[in-house]
Amino acid sequence: MRRLLGPQINENVSVASATPEPHQDLSILVVDNNSVNQRIMERMLEKSGLQCVVAKDGVEAVERHQEQAWDLIFMDCLMPNMDGYEATPRIREHEQDVDHDTVVIALTANAMSTDVERCLNAGIDDHLAKPVSRAILSSMIQKYYPRPPASWHPRALRPNQTDSDAHLWKPAHSKTPRRAR
């Protein structure tokens, strides 16, 4: 009889709520005057399922921040026109008027403790030393925007579910919870 009916549905298996790529709805601005660095960041983010907008310097970053609220800004610290140390306080000043908190992460070749301190004093939330690997970049994003629990992933097994039961449920779409503001 079992062969005729096919696999039985286990009533103890909960239907999963799958999410799109865990962070695909994040708005990300990459600020760097070097076109090679811009492309590297774009590609690493794309391979992680994320999209970004690029700004060539701090002046453009401040302008873009006034036009749109960003979840994450990856900011090069040393750029012509306006560097990250000058742009970030301007962004923070604007945030007070609009009640929005953007995570700003410094991208710099300088990893000395005095450089990190300078970043923090400028209002930068965190620091990544160049060159940045995709794993480190993903880890940094996850630090500020945690991925949903494994139970939300469509391939995650539920209690009392085996690999052979995985075909019994179809995931429904839902949004990833956003970081508390």
CB 74 within 8 A of CB 50: no
Per-residue pLDDT 10s for the chain (181 aa) are 333 333 343 333 333 333 334 456 889 999 999 999 999 999 999 988 899 999 999 999 999 999 999 999 999 998 999 999 999 999 999 988 887 889 999 998 876 777 888 888 899 999 999 889 999 999 999 999 886 544 444 444 444 444 443 333 333 323 333 333 3
Residue ranges and CATH numbers for the domains of the chain are 28-144 (3.40.50.2300)
pTM value is 0.69
One-letter amino acid of 123: G
Pairing relation of β-strands 72-76 and 103-108?
Answer: parallel
